[in-house]
Amino acid sequence: MVLALLVKEDVALIVIPIGLWVALRRDLRRGVWTVVVSFGAMALMFLVVMRSFTGVAFRNSWRIPFGGFAGLFRVAFRQPLELWKYLTSDDRPTYLFQLLSPTALAFIAAPSVALTSAAVIGANLISTFWYQHQIGYHYSLVIVPSLMFGTVYGIARVPITYRKRMVGAVAVCSLAFGYWLSPLPLARSTVGDWSASNPSVVAAKELFAVIPDDAVVSAYHPLTAQLARRERIYSFPNPFQRSLYGPDVFARGDRLPFAEEVEYVMLPAVLEEAANLVWSQESPRFRVVGSNAWWIVYKRL
């Protein structure tokens, strides 16, 4: 439980229902403690950790439709048809189908365990953020354990004469949807990646040595994780032009006041048009200190 809660602040939306299930079905004391600790961990993440980084406890209220929680509840009770139209729009039914079908719906035989994922599934379906109801993104990952355990629990609760058939159905559905949706070997889907031997990766590593460990850096976003062992690292075009920076996710376009404090910039040798426009305004203040066919490192004059 502790390791799960350390993953992300909203993991508690899964762990709390699990605690309730344990309290009602197995061990009241352990279940209640699970719920209490999960609530506490979530509160700590939002009110202390996230607030210390962003200045606000929760910066994603814009993902709640109909103007926020109040509007959502109002529409749910006064205009349920509008809510239904919303929930059946924008590929949400397809997302639900892709999420549940690999289990062959075997969890329906005893749904209580699988229902521990209901809060997260509901949040993903309700969200206005497109990525939350697309099966290929991490928002669905936290749901998988509940559905898998729920499937096993459901199969275990049916008469033994039906179990082999249900296991077979789950195996067929899992393999079929794995081929269709997952980047498995020989599957239909693929995911692009930059392996350690990729020429662009090798070229980037060569230039990392040019940048001092204590320098303030703005870098092309795929490089920021590799350059992040420092106090300040920004994903270009930040801080020269704000983009997804700060508590207001819609604030963009302004030059942040600490832009002059950036000492090094690492960018692709060939920039996209928008990035090139930003950099053309800043580049006179920098000089090239390292380059190759893939990347260029600049240092402030």
Q: What does the pLDDT read at residue 58?
A: 82
Structure tokens, 137: 């993104």
> How far are the Cα atoms of 53, 175, 192 from residue 185, in angstroms, in the given order?
39, 12, 13
- Residue 63 belongs to a domain: no
- Residue 11 belongs to a domain: yes
Q: Write the pLDDT tens digit of every residue in 271-291.
A: 999 999 999 999 999 999 999
Work out the percent of the chain whose per-residue pLDDT is above 70: 100
Q: What does the pLDDT read at residue 101?
A: 95
Q: What does the pLDDT read at residue 182?
A: 85
Question: Which residue segment(s) compose the domain that 13 sits in?
Answer: 1-58
CB–CB of 99/136 below 8 Å? no
Lowest mean pLDDT among 59-73, 83-97, 134-148, 189-203: 189-203
Look at the alpha carbons of 202, 206, 207, 212 in this order and tell me if their dihedral is positive or negative: positive
- Residue 27 belongs to a domain: yes
Q: Write the pLDDT tens digit of every residue in 256-271.
A: 999 999 999 999 999 9
Taking the complete model, does pTM exceed 0.85, yes or no?
A: no
If one counts the domains in the chain, the total is 3
Q: Write the pLDDT tens digit of every residue in 121-151.
A: 999 999 999 999 999 898 999 999 999 999 9
Closest alpha carbon to 295 in 258, 256, 268: 268
Q: What does the pLDDT read at residue 6?
A: 83
Beta-strand runs (E) in the chain: 217-219, 233-235, 264-268, 286-291, 295-300
- Residue 76 belongs to a domain: no
CB–CB of 218/275 below 8 Å? no
- Residue 206 belongs to a domain: yes
Residues 131, 47, single domain; the answer is: no
Q: From CA 163, how far away is CA 200, in angstroms rounded?
A: 51
Q: How many CB atoms lie within 10 A of CB 65?
A: 16
Q: What does the pLDDT read at residue 175?
A: 93
Q: What does the pLDDT read at residue 54?
A: 79
Position 2 confidence tier, pLDDT thresholds 50, 70, 90: confident
- Residue 16 belongs to a domain: yes
Q: What does the pLDDT read at residue 80?
A: 93
Q: How many CB atoms lie within 10 A of CB 63?
A: 14
